Every structure is written in C-alpha cells, then in structure tokens.
Structure 1
Amino acid sequence: MTIVLQYVDKRGLVKESFVGLVHVMETSSSALKGQGYDGANNMRGQFNGLKAKILEENESAYYVHCFAHQLQLVVVTVAKKHLGVVNFLDNISILMNMVSVSCKRTDILRENEKERVEKEIGSGILETGIGLNQELSFIRPGDTRWNSHYKRLLRLVDMFPSIMRVVEHVKEECTNPSTQNQAINMLGFLSSFEFVFYLHLMLHCHTPRRKAETPGRA
C-alpha cells in the first residue's frame, strides 16, 4: 500500500508527498482505510467500500479516483482501439504463451539467456556490477496497467535472440501440426516490418527518452 500525505500549503495549493510503501496482508476496505482510491469495488463501494468508511467519519471527504490509475485505464483503452496495435499486442500475447506454456520451453529460454549474457560479458558488450545482468523473465501484463505492457516489450527487446530460439525449437521439434504452424507464423511476424515498427512505436510513445533498440542487438 502506498502512503501519501495530502495537504494544503499557505498559498492554498493542494500538495501530495510520498511517504513510503507498506506491506498489507488484507485488502478489504477496513484494512485499507485511508484517503486514496482507485476504481475497484472495495474502494468505491456505496455501503462497504473505502469511500463509505471515510464518509462515516468525515462527511466533507471527496471521493476522487486516482488520476494515475485513470490515465493507465485510458491509455490501455485507447491503444486497444487501434487495429494495428491490437494485432501487435495479440501476437505478443500468443508469443508469450508459446514461450512459457511448458517448463521445457522456459528452461530453453533460461539457458539461452544465460549463454547470451555470459558470451556478451566475455566480449565486453555487457558491463558487470552489483544489480546488473540479473535473470529476466517474459512477464505477463495486467489488463489495466499500461506500464506492465511497456515492461513486457522491454523484456522482449532484451531477450529477443533467446525468445527466437525457443520459437525455432517449437517449429522444429513440436509434433503438433497446429502448434508447429503457429510457430512458423510467429517467426514470420517477428521478422516483419510491422512487428519492428509497432515495437519501436509503442516504446517511443511511452517515453521519448528511451531509445528503443533493434531486436537482435540485445
């Protein structure tokens, strides 16, 4: 749970100061009692939600849906209205399922990543140090958290050569014709201009300060 202190300064401006993060064992409205909301039912519920709990003690309190959370919802919704982006994200989801559907494929991905990192450290491409070159995974995004989609795309760039090897393994070794054909189609997608274009577009739109690398250079 994020703890934020909200107050009004001498000029009448509302200020918010981040205090810290607290681990919570329960997510009921009573356990989360405090001034701050997203759109979940345990937050905005009319009778048992956090909003109701706050209003019992302070009738002047306003329910304000967290702006950051609203922005996340808007970005995800808008992105899914563009057919090209929808097709891109759907293919990335198929890729994730293909790569992580079994322990065997996950192990192949992990071993290829280990070999790649060791090789690039040895050749001086990667730097070494505390916190660097930690084991990565192809994360699954949350539907209402655009930042999780962004992180998944960053992982895709970083792990691209290893992910490609897993897809190639599925193409060559899988005995299921349907899955094998899916792997062939995925290799075509990952080699297409459309894939590279939307990957760079999505990374650039999230933050212009991040220079998206070309897949395969990671």
Structure 2
Amino acid sequence: MSCYLFGKHYGARNDGKNAFSELGFSNWKKVNNRVNCAFICHEGSIPNSPHNLCVKSCDDLMAQSKYIDKVLDRYSDETIANNRLKLNTSINAIRWLAFQTCAFRGDDESPESLNRRNFIELIKLLAFCNQNVNNIVLENAHGNAQYISSGVQKDILHIFVKKVRATIREEIGDSKFCIIIDEARDESKREQMYVILRFVDKHSCVQERFFDLIHVSYTCSLTLKTEISSVLSRHNLDVQNLRGQGYDGASNMRGEWNGLQALFLKDCPFACYIHCLAHRLQLALVSAAKEVCYVHQFFSKLTLIVNVVTVSPKRHDQLRVAQANNVANLIANDQIVIGSRLNQIGALQSAGDTR
C-alpha cells in the first residue's frame, strides 16, 4: 500500500521493482530464497531505500496530529502576539539604525560583552522601556527565536529596500524619466555605481530619487549599460520612456560613438545626454582659478595650511580654539548674526579638482 501511494516520489516504480505497486507479484518461487527473497530485496537493506521511504511517508500521512494546520492550532493567541511583538521590536531597531546610517554589528556581541554594539544595545534599550518587550527578547526569548541574527537583519533590510523601490516605481507610473549615473569607490575599494531617477510626479513637481547601488567590476560603457538596463527592466521601467541622461565627462560615459550615452541613444533617440552641471561648474572654477595667479597662490597656500594643521591634533585643537574666540568676539561686536545652526566650526578639508 505504501509503495503504491508514494512509490513515484522515490523511484520505486522506475527501478524494476514495481511489481508490488502496479503489475502485481507472481514469482512466488523467490519468496523463501533467503537473501534473494523478493520481499527482502524490495524492502532494501538501508534505511533510505525506496520502500522504507514510502513506509515513512505513509506513517506521516496517517499521523494527523502532525499536520501543519493541527500544529499551528496549538499555538495560543498569546504566543502569536509575543512573536509579533518580538519581530516588531527588531524591525523598529533596524529601521531606526538604517535612517540614522549607523553600523549594526560589532566584533563582540556575546552576552558577556559590556558593549554589544548598536543593534543589540538598541534592543536592550527598548526592552528597558517596556516590560512586555523585556520578557520576550534576547536571553528571555523562547528557544533560538530571538530575531537578532545577521541573516534576519539583512532580510528585513531587503524588505525595506523592496518597499522603497516599489513606492518610487509607483510614483513614476508611466511617465517619462531621466537617469543620473556616477561611480565611486567605497572604503572596501569596490567600484560602486549609483542610479538616480529624475521625473515629474502626479503633482507636476520634479523629483529625484536614489534608486539603486550596483557593484561593477568593470567600468566600460557596455558593462554599465547592461547593469543599468537590468535594473530598469527588473522594475518594469521602459527604456523608451527615457528622456535624459546625466553623467560626468569621462570618456566611457560621454563618448560620442561608444560611450554610455551613445549606447542608450541607440535604444531611445529621445534620451538626450547632459554633462552634469555641477561637475562642469567645478571644472570651470578649477580651470579659471589656475589662470588667475593670486587665486592659484591662495589655494596652493591653503592646501599647505590644511595639511600642516590636520597632521597634528594639537595644531588642530589650537585652530579650533582660536576660531571659537574669533567668533565670540564678532558676536560681541554685533558683526555677525546668531541663530540655530549658525557659526558652527566644521572640519578642514583639502581642496580638490573634483567634488
């Protein structure tokens, strides 16, 4: 009976031993032939033989108490509510850290650590403020269902990403859009390409939305075009609705024949290329500054001053104290106005030819 029901799932009907499930058994001479007994050969000598697997499946079928609906019914409303509260606590912590662009994990998150890093410490803070949360999270959680592993964090972040992109896609609808592309190398020396979509929403307002960040091993125009087209097609954004391209002045981006803008123009002749205005302004200012002797000397000396000050913490602190005293004197003499976020002392940065 068991082989008849489940034999096709375990190959029992394809190994020449389907007499017990389909054809019917008639060779009774081999029944008492000890090792070569047909019944013994059919059962097999290993636990995972087709016959034994069929028997186990049949036993599982007969054990109705193990059905998934019966197992779920055993969970009380209180257990379900606690699991939801525990998951919502992790979701709220991840959402807050993501909005504040804070690191999630650290090198030591063990219960014995004095600082278990941002994510777990935030969970502990939420538990401290709510006794119901404290009863079900971290070490008080039932079994291993703590929802604090790196895999759970990544899954929740991926859900956030999908929802944000779905919202942006809904904003765009069937309207025309432009793409703004640039590449940069992150701290891990990986070349990253970011994709920004510019469009007019249903309220006739121009919107710019950061849409995706893609790791690219090669920055040739064909590779970039393939990656961008993949992102657009994955979110049902038709290239024929593309009306603008904004890149920097690199040859692989603005090349007239083989550049990225030329490749998109072949697919959509209305996708006009515009050299990034901020990048053009920066290049124009740098070029003009180099032509004026006094301005060129000013920035050259400024670079030397910045290097001298920033290389020494003592000099940096002395400069901050001097600047704070100068600001205080100007305020006392009513030479500058005061207000929220005014007259703040920022960090020194070296001048560069690009942004």
- TM-score for both structures, normalised by structure 1: 0.45
Q: Which has the higher strand share?
A: 2
Higher relative contact order (CA 8 A, sep 6+): 1
Q: Over alpha carbons, which structure has the higher Rg?
A: 2
